[in-house]
Amino acid sequence: MKKKSEHTIKELQEIAREATERAWNENFALGLPIVIEENGNIVKRYKDGSVTIIKKATIKIEKA
């Protein structure tokens, strides 16, 4: 029997996806950008879709 706090990898991925989406929406609602890695760069992405490159990423981030 699984303990209540144990989740499958798929469940954890869904929890992480939902938390990420919620954080993006909250930032955009407050007029704040999100900071993400995109195409090898660290960027600020704004609600209107505009992007400001902060700097080149120093490590490669693998996407699941």
pLDDT tens string 5-36: 788 999 999 999 999 999 999 999 999 999 99
What is the predicted pLDDT for the residue at 58? Answer: 85
- For residue 2, is it within any domain? no
Let me know: does 12 contact 23? Beta carbons within 8 Å. no
Query: What average pLDDT is seen over the chain?
Result: 90
Which of 11, 20, 48, 18 lies closest to 33 in space, CA to CA? 48
- For residue 33, is it within any domain? yes
Number of structural domains found in the chain: 1
- For residue 24, is it within any domain? yes
pTM higher than 0.85:
no
- Residue span of the structural domain in which 28 resides: 9-56
- For residue 63, is it within any domain? no
Q: Which two tokens stand for residue 47?
A: 């609600």
- For residue 1, is it within any domain? no
Residues 6+ apart with CB under 8 A from 27: 33, 34
- For residue 61, is it within any domain? no
Sheet of 51-56: strand order equals: 34-38, 41-45, 51-56
- For residue 64, is it within any domain? no
